[in-house]
Chain A
Amino acid sequence: MKRWLPLGIFAVLAVLLGIGLSLDPRKVPSPLIGKSMPAFELAQLHDAERTVSDADLRGEVSVLNVWGTWCAGCRAEHDVLLRLARTGLVRIIGLNWKDDRQAAQQWLRELGNPYALSAFDQDGRVAIDWGVYGAPETFIMDATGIVRYKHIGVLNDELLDQEILPLLKKLKSET
């Protein structure tokens, strides 16, 4: 009987590890959710003379996506963003984070540009206000500018279909 004990302990452990797999230890609920988005004003990526600000995101449901050309995950999720843009449901604002202006523009020329507007956050100050701690990150704001959703890490088709699109439709119907 005693010899079955190690196996029993391992079985319990394996179940816990299995549950652990479906959890995300980094998923700390963002303090921003349910609050109004942080105010910001930044130069546009394509035109340093013009600016983007939080005012551009208010008034309708919007998505803010934090990315950089140095970020491997951003390349991986780019097609998903393009797909989201093509649905025409929502405007995606890009926050180009700690990047090189030329490289970022070239990236969008080569891979396609899902962003209605792109902000250029070279020193990362705005990203700090948004609590960004790694690219890519994606925020969804409702029409009043309240942050309703945050995703840390790469977007994929499954997430888009099962969480993001339904949420966007719901938010749109609220307005």
Chain B
Amino acid sequence: MIAELGHFALILALCMAVVQGVLPLAGSFTRNANWIASGRPAAYGQCVFVAVSFAALTYAFVIDDFSVEYVASNSNTLLPIVYKVSAVWSAHEGSLLLWVLMLGGWGAAVAYFSRNLPDIFAARVLAIMGLVGIGFLLFILLTSNPFARLTLMPAEGRDMNPLLQDPGLAIHPPMLYMGYVGLSVAFSFAIAALIGGRLDSTWARWSRPWTTIAWVFLTIGITLGSWWAYNELGWGGWWFWDPVENASFMPWLIATALIHSLAITEKRGAFKSWTVLLAILGFSLSLLGAFLVRSGVLTSVHAFATDPARGLFILLFLCVVIGGSLALYAWRGPGVSRGGQFHWMSRETLLLGNNLVLVSVTGFVLLGTLAPLIYDALGWGKISVGFPWFNTMFIGFMPFLGILLGAGPVTRWKSDDPVGLLKRLRWAALASLALALLAWLPLYTQASWQVALGIGLSAWIGLATLAGFVRRVRDPRGLVSALRKQSRSYYGMVLAHLGVAAFVLGVTLVSLFGIEKDVGLKPGESVTLAGYEFKFAGVESVRGPNYRAERGSVSVTRDGALVATLHPEKRRYFVQTQPMTEAAIDVGATRDLYVSLGEPLGEGAWSVRVYYKPFVRWIWGGGFLAALGGLLAVSDKRYRLSLRRKIRVKVAGAEVPA
């Protein structure tokens, strides 16, 4: 009964989405005030009905209702309750429902916070979000109904994929989807502005907080995903250039470019055409990612159970949304921007440079991701694009991005004098060069140009950002008042850029100084790695709620002092019987010690894999720091004030119907 209720609520949500997508848009042209006003209640209604539907599915999981096929396929009575809830989004149908829930949530949030925007503009934004909602709701209802019943109710469910039974993965998809779907807001703002023919700095200002908050979620989601892969896949990597990872990375790159481009459009009125294109591209790449993951055109460790009908549906949806918005862009997009003249040596130039690098990286990631598909489609055979290709590409672009990133915030808008800029940055430049040279000296066995490059870039980004900060707070009236005078968005920028510096440092050190060893160990034997002695005490059998495990004990000592006792496990889940590796990690700010169990070798001996991972935490630390920076920027009072001021001036800015 509850499942049918959920299904019914989903149908009602679709009806709401149709109202939300059609009436306000039509009303915005015919000036029908009632139709214009229907957008908000419809958005709230859609959100509520999807929430009811989602709650119904969650309930079915919690009470183990195996008559629902989706529950029977992805849960089990022995599953801990936390995972019963996160199992809701552990496969295609439920994750899509989560996606729609978030879309409903964003729609309701826009409806709520857009009360200060001009009515016609807000109506169009809500309508675009409604149209996107129609697409996804139809997709669920037509091809992926999570509430379908089984005629024969199994006594026990087939269990959640054990790979996904991890706390990191319980929160990673919701965060990521919040980001993906959040980009639909920036997209809707852009389309509404294109329809109205008014792309200006107020449009940019309204879009900025929404874009930034979506970017924050995306950043957290990707960071958590990387952290999960490191914990759960048992081979110590943190990024695999897997198609699905790339599918999340591309919208992130574009959203990063968009945040910066919006800043220029708001402050200087320049690059409007470019900014609006980025807003369209960001959400388009989110949709493309959904297509790649759910259509089965690419192989990936993350791919969902696939079905050609679903692929076809999303492809058509992609054509309508992306094709339609790009056609609108071509038709109504602004010409070459006249506003905001600037000198070649200015913050605009540097931001444009960083934008171009980010978009180029996106292009290359897209090419690498789709290359197997393109080759196959053109009949050139089967290829796979691996790690080295992506890494080379990334290392090639990173220096440009890093150098621009360091210099950008210290450069003035409009026009700056190169000598003055050099002067402002000389200490940061000299210090980072010195550090790079120091790292290059053959003091260590692995010294190489990559180490020098990584260390130098990281130092440059960090020091140049700090140099800019120090200049800003050098104030005769005292440090405290100067610190208080800086806006939250400035602090946010500083934090985010320091996050990048930390990330680059972590990546460099862990890639070039990380050590791994595969050894066969009998109980009592030990292996030494980077000065740490790992002593294997043997393996015992333990039982978890829904699995049985072989649990090893490894004590780690350094110079005779105990550092940690680690318990890596090899689990076998009762229902889905493939073995799972649960690595044991001793976490540290400057290094992780990572042990995972391989295969039993007989007579109590096991193959054991040990890693020394210097500064690996800095990778995720950098990600979270950047996300925190984004949050700070969104909380800036400027947005709240400007929104309030907006009400008063909105009459002046009333637009003409297109």
Contact = CB atoms under 8 A, between A and B. Distances in A.
B83 to A, nearest CB: 18
B382 interface: yes
A6 interface: yes
B376 A25 contact: yes
Contacts of A48: none
Interface in B546-577: 575-577
B333 interface: yes
A72 interface: yes
B323 A72 contact: no
Interface string B518-548: 0000000000000000000000000000000
Interface in A86-131: 98, 110
B211 to A, nearest CB: 19
Interface stretch (A12-20, A39-47, A135-143): A12-20
A49 interface: no
B295 A10 contact: no
Contact of B329 (A7, A11, A26, A98): A7
- A contacts with B: majority SS: helix
Given A3-B329, A16-B374, A17-B373, A70 B296 contact: no
B73 A72 contact: yes
B323 A16 contact: no
B395 interface: no
Interface string B488-501: 00000000000000
Given A10-B323, A17-B297, A25 B372 contact: yes
Contacts of B576: 70
B2 interface: no
Contact of A14 (B296, B311, B318): B318
A98 B577 contact: yes
A24 B323 contact: no
Given A3-B329, A7-B326, A25-B372, A17 B296 contact: no
Contact of A18 (B73, B284, B315, B323): B315
B277 A20 contact: no
A10 to B, nearest CB: 6
Given A3-B333, A16-B370, A26 B312 contact: no
A14 B297 contact: no
Contacts of B333: 3
A3 B329 CA distance: 7
A28 interface: yes
Interface residues on A, range: 20 to 34
Interface in B314-329: 315, 318-319, 322-323, 326-327, 329
A111 to B, nearest CB: 9
A10 B326 contact: yes
A19 B308 CA distance: 12
Nearest to A17: B315
Interface string B381-414: 0100000000000000000000000000000000
Contact of B297 (A7, A20, A70, A110): A20
B575 A70 contact: yes
Contacts of B312: 21
B299 interface: yes
Nearest to B298: A25
B273 interface: yes
B44 interface: no
A6 B376 contact: no
Contacts of B260: none
- B contacts with A: majority SS: helix
Contact of A6 (B319, B329, B373): B329
B652 interface: no
A20 B377 contact: yes
A56 B73 CA distance: 35
Nearest to B295: A21
Contacts of B577: 70, 98
Interface string A58-85: 0000000000001010000000000000
A114 B207 CA distance: 60
Contacts of A19: 377
Given A16-B373, A26-B299, A98-B577, A7 B315 contact: no
Contact of B327 (A7, A24, A72, A110): A7
A98 B377 CA distance: 36
B273 A3 contact: yes
A24 B315 contact: no
Given A3-B329, A10-B322, A17 B291 contact: yes
Contact of B376 (A4, A23, A72, A110): A23
Contacts of B268: none
Contacts of A110: 152
Contacts of B308: 21-22
B181 to A, nearest CB: 21
Nearest to B312: A21
Contacts of A25: 296-299, 372-373, 376, 382
B330 interface: yes
B424 interface: no
B158 interface: yes
B53 to A, nearest CB: 23
A17 B372 CA distance: 11
Q: Which 10 pairs across A and B sit closest by C-beta, in order of nearness? A: A19-B377, A7-B326, A20-B297, A20-B373, A3-B330, A4-B330, A21-B311, A25-B299, A3-B333, A6-B326
8 contacts: A3-B273, A3-B329, A6-B280, A10-B322, A16-B373, A17-B297, A20-B377, A25-B299
Interface of A: 3-4, 6-7, 10-11, 13-14, 16-26, 28, 70, 72, 98, 110
